Amino acid sequence: MMPENIKNIKKIVLSDNWATLHKVTFDYQDSKGNWEPQVREVYDRGNGAAVLLYNKESGTVILTEQFRIPTYFNGNPDGMLIEVCAGLLDHYDPETAIKKEIEEETGYHLSEVEKVMDLYMSPGSVTETVHLFIANYTAKDKVSKGGGLAAEQEDIVVHEYAFAKAYTMIQTGEIKDAKTVILLQYLKLQGILS
């Protein structure tokens, strides 16, 4: 059902390569009752999931590092970004998808994850909802090297940091990824790793 303050929606596909980019035109009625034509570009790559792995005993977290071309184009000198394990849902539910990503990217096999929240990360132009999780890991959960899937051209470095170090990396600018900052702050606020 369409809201009463939106009408005459028209979508044109601008790109349908890795994901779909639409040019959308519509009429929007503002809070004063005026109808205004709007033009936007909307990028639909599907929904995703992200997880911060933490070890309660050792006080450590697992983060990944990989090349992100958009960050390179926006001034990140080497394009490398430190972030939590994450991926698209594809055809899986969020919990199943993130468990699969954990094993592929980090090499840990975990049977339990805890849902934290769902967020839009860039709602001005991207349709994606990211389902955020946390999960406790131990050394015995490590089943492979991780690093991602060669078939998906993933080249992921897995890092284990003391939680205090990872949290400080937000302030130093070494961690700039929003979902990672949010999940590290969640752990801190909840007192999970004090």
Kindly state the helix (H) or strand (E) to which residue 183 belongs, with its residue range.
helix 178-190
- 8, with CB counted inside 10 A (0-12, 13-18, 19+), is exposed
Question: Residue 112 has what pLDDT?
Answer: 97
Q: Give the torsion sign (CA, 66, 115, 124, 10).
A: positive
The CA R_g of the chain, rounded to the nearest whole Å, is 19
pTM: 0.93
Question: Which residue stretches of 112-162 are H helix?
Answer: none
Assess contact for 89 and 100: CB atoms under 8 A: no
- What is the distance between the alpha carbons of residues 50 and 113, in angstroms, rounded to a whole number? 11
Check residue 11 and give its pLDDT: 97
Cβ atoms of 3 and 28 closer than 8 Å: no
- Write down all domains in the chain, each with its CATH number in brackets: 6-44 (no CATH), 48-190 (3.90.79.10)
For residue 10, the model assigns a pLDDT of 97
Give the tokens for residue 36.
């205004």
- The rounded mean pLDDT for the chain is 95
Summarised one tens digit per residue, pLDDT across range 120-130 is 999 999 999 99
Q: Is 112 helix (H, G, I), strand (E, B) or coil?
A: coil
Contact yes or no for 53/33 (Cβ under 8 A)? no
Q: Name the stretches of the chain with pLDDT < 50.
A: none
Report pLDDT for 36.
97
Region for residue 20 given its phi and psi (left: phi exceeds 0; alpha: psi -120 to 50; beta: otherwise):
beta
